[in-house]
Amino acid sequence: MGKHIYNIAVIPGDGIGKEVMPEGLRVLDAAAGRFGIELRYKHIEWASCDYYAATGRMMPDDWKAQLSGMDAIYFGAAGWPAAVPDHVSLWGSLLKFRREFDQYVNLRPARLFDGVPCPLANRKPGDIDFMIVRENTEGEYSSVGGIMYEGTEREIVMQQSVHSRIGSDRVLRFAFELARQRERKQVTVATKSNGLAVSMPWWDGRAAAMAAQYPDVDWDKQHIDILSARFVLQPQRFDVVVASNLFGDILSDLGPACTGTLGLAPSANLNPERAFPSLFEPVHGSAPDIYGRNVANPIGMIWSGAMMLDFLDTDGGSGRQAHDAILAAIQQVLRDGPRTADLGGTASTTDMGQAIAAAVAG
Ligand code: GGG
């Protein structure tokens, strides 16, 4: 088998994205060195609020051309609300990638690691280990809507949710296929069909039709309110959770929060057909409140890099091994190594990245 060579666009973005990215690259390099993978980086400064401050745009007109030939995008964080309104930075960068590169699955694991204090009572490693599959290109994140009579007493604002049959079926199918590969083979579908009485009964119907094609997978649907409560009260119930864009966004902050800190959480914005590059980023945002002190937890960024190597390697060889080695190193450091403030320690972002890279190198 030949050496695997991947072209990666590296986009730190904003805030702590710029601090965790070097640690992500440090660990990727250690894994690449150990498993015979060649990573060719293209460093990009746009898709950031600094670029916006200089140009009035988040990305250049030729952004797609600049990304041609890239196998994946490794992304830090988006947003610097003191300079650019959040909806402008998000729609001008991350959401553009997701929509124009048809990254319709946002895969977000939540796992309780040994050595991480769990905020939930009586939970041990193994009790929380589930995957959130978030629809990533439509749903509540739609650009359909508008404001009428703006600035007057008659002001009206509307924003429509958009759920297509193709968009819903493909993300549901991904969730059921994923569950089929896992030991427990169980899917929970997030809904709110008692309140959102048009879109969500329809979504439930799509889910039931999909489930009928997977008799080997157990499934149920739960309203988003009780589902959120159960994340906290009974997280061991969940295996694969599939949700619309907004529900999935909320659940994928809550899930990792139940495992101790959002700083651990990775995500993969996937175009499963590989027609476009997929994007890998930590779930956390740019965290302006802690930026500049080198105290952010780099594990979300590092784990996202592991997911990237796993996804890129279509023959389940070195990329899968690199992924597993990075996860083992994360577990080792969380048990015995330096820890950042969100985990109750005093280590810096760099300390933690170096420790994980050393553990990967072996
Ligand atoms: N690294 C993730 C990030 O920058 N998130 C900012 C954010 O607000 N994202 C919203 C979303 O994922 O929909």
Q: Hey, what amino acid is at 239? A: D
ipTM: 0.92
Distance 342 CA to ligand 1 centre (A): 19
Query: Cβ(249) to ligand 1 under 6 A?
Result: yes
pLDDT at 2 over 70: no
| Centre of ligand 1 from the C-alpha of residue 174, in Å | 22
End-to-end CA distance of the chain: 23
Q: Kindly give the distance from the C-alpha atom of residue 325 to the centroid of ligand 1, in angstroms, as a whole number.
A: 27
pLDDT at 234 (0 to 100):
94
Can you give the pLDDT at residue 1? Answer: 54
Amino acid at 188: T
Instruction: Name the percent of the chain lying above pLDDT 90.
Output: 96
84-110 tens-digit pLDDT: 999 999 999 999 999 999 999 999 999
Q: How confident is the model at residue 315 (pLDDT cuts 50, 70, 90)?
A: confident
Domains of the chain, start order: 1-114+269-362 (3.40.718.10), 140-258 (3.40.50)
Output the pLDDT for position 351.
98
pLDDT of res. 121 = 86
The residue-averaged pLDDT of 346-361 equals 98
pLDDT for the residue 243: 98
- Burial class from Cβ neighbours inside 10 Å (0-12, 13-18, 19+) for residue 138 reads buried
pLDDT attached to residue 9 = 98
- Cβ pair 343, 116 in contact under 8 A: yes
* Contact criterion met (CB below 8 Å) for 74 and 305: yes
Ligand 1 contact, 277 CB (< 6 A): no
Burial class (CB in 10 A: 0-12, 13-18, 19+), 361: middle
Ligand 1 atom with the smallest distance to the CA of 95 is 13
319-323 own/partner pairs: CB under 8 Å, 24+ apart: 319/4, 319/35, 319/37, 321/35, 322/31, 322/32, 322/34, 322/35, 322/37
Any atom of ligand 1 within 6 Å of the Cβ of 285: yes
Q: What is the pLDDT of residue 211?
A: 98
Q: 227-269: per-residue pLDDT in tens?
A: 999 999 999 999 999 999 999 999 999 999 999 999 999 999 9
Q: Is the CB of 263 under 6 A from ligand 1?
A: no
Indicate the top mutation candidate among 94, 244, 283 to test ligand 1's pocket, ranked by most ligand atoms within 8 A of CB.
94
Q: Kindly give the number of the ligand 1 atom that is closest to the alpha carbon of 78.
A: 4
For residue 106, the ligand 1 atom closest to its alpha carbon is 12
- pLDDT > 70 fraction of the chain, expressed in percent and rounded: 99
Q: Is the CB of 282 under 6 A from ligand 1?
A: yes
- pLDDT given at position 116: 94
pLDDT at 316 exceeding the cut of 80: no
How far, in Å, is the centroid of ligand 1 from the Cα of 168? 21
Structure tokens at 109: 């694991």
Residue nearest to atom 13 of ligand 1 (CA): 249
Is the CB of 14 inside a 6 Å radius of any atom of ligand 1?
A: no
Mean pLDDT of 204-231: 98
Q: Is 145 left (phi over 0), alpha (psi -120 to 50) or beta?
A: left
Element (H, E) at 301: helix 299-312
